[in-house]
Amino acid sequence: MAGIPPAGRVLKPGRFHWLVGALVAAGAICVFFPFFWMAVTSLKTVPEIQRVPLQIAPDDWTNLANFREVFHRQPFGRFLLNSALVASVSALSSVVVSSLAGYGFAKFRFPGHGIFFFAIVGILMVPFQSVVVPLYLWVSRLDLLDTYLGILAPDLVSVFGVFLMRQSIEVVPTDYIDAARIDGAGEFGIFWRVILPSVKPALATLVIVKFMWTWNELFWPLVVINSPTMKVVTLGLVSFTNMYFIEYNLVTAAAVLSILPILIVFLVCQKWVVRGVVMSGLKG
């Protein structure tokens, strides 16, 4: 593992190499700190949270009362399952459709390809709040309220995915594709066997990003879900805030619970991304 020099190492390391490493590490710790804070707050009782002067460590590091309360108030386990299912389906379907579309936009010139691509990117520019009521009415007419498909409706394909896939597939050399065509491979076969393996890091990135994005969606699930057993994690989290006060102890506990599954997905996929990314740095 240590024997593969990344491309950046062709130049000799400068005098300030250690400084760069230290700054990066310091930045990472600063960025990470709010999470530490969140985790620590979830172990505190309510009076502890209110206490001044501030105390970082909880009185009792094994105080799991907040977590118990979160599960007691709402079927939070069910929420985690629902979120996992919805986010997984969304990530997978996004990867499939986005990579297909990315390939189409990157390597083919059909009439209207520029306009279609720009139109898709344009969807990102529309505030979701302004389409939520019409979209809800459609979903409601199709009887998809309170169903997984209803929750998934706006999340099955990702605009960012199409963008990313197009970028990534664009750099695959065209003559390689042409060579495969000459060899008699069908279009889909080329996609499956030539294109996809070349863009594995981008695919993994898309999976992670789309999974997280759908996992953390609040507004659409809020509007489309009624049944307590169909709710997702974000709804559970926000139920500990209302117009009068915020229950920080429960919100942080719920947030910790909601991050754990994502962390797992990230750690699994990330190995693939970073290593894969390093591998592709060997080009040339």
Residues 69-128 that bind other proteins (CB under 8 A): 73, 89, 93, 96-98, 100-101, 103-105, 107-114, 116-127
Does residue 63 interact with other proteins by CB under 8 A? no
Mask: binding to other proteins, 141-160, rule CB under 8 A, as x and -? x-xxxxxxx--xxx-xx-xx
Least distance in angstroms from the C-beta of 108 to other proteins: 2
From the list 209, 220, 186, 240, the residue with the least C-alpha distance to 74 is: 240
Least distance in angstroms from the C-beta of 27 to other proteins: 6
Does residue 66 interact with other proteins by CB under 8 A? no
Least distance in angstroms from the C-beta of 178 to other proteins: 10
Least distance in angstroms from the C-beta of 52 to other proteins: 5
Does residue 65 interact with other proteins by CB under 8 A? no
Mask: binding to other proteins, 191-230, rule CB under 8 A, as x and -? xx-x--xx--xx--x---x--x--xx-xx--xx--xxxxx
Q: Residue 37 or 77: which CB sits closer to other proteins?
A: 37
Instruction: Count Cα atoms within 13 angstroms, Cβ side, for 264.
Output: 7
Does residue 11 interact with other proteins by CB under 8 A? yes
- One DSSP character per residue, 172-233 reads S-HHHHHHHHHTT--HHHHIIIIIHHHTHHHHHHHHHHHHHHHHT--HHHHHH--SGGG--H
278 token code pair: 């390093």
Cβ burial 215-234 (10 Å sphere, 16+ → b, else e):
bbbeebbeebbeeeebbbbb
How far is Cα 157 from Cα 97, in angstroms, rounded to an integer? Answer: 6
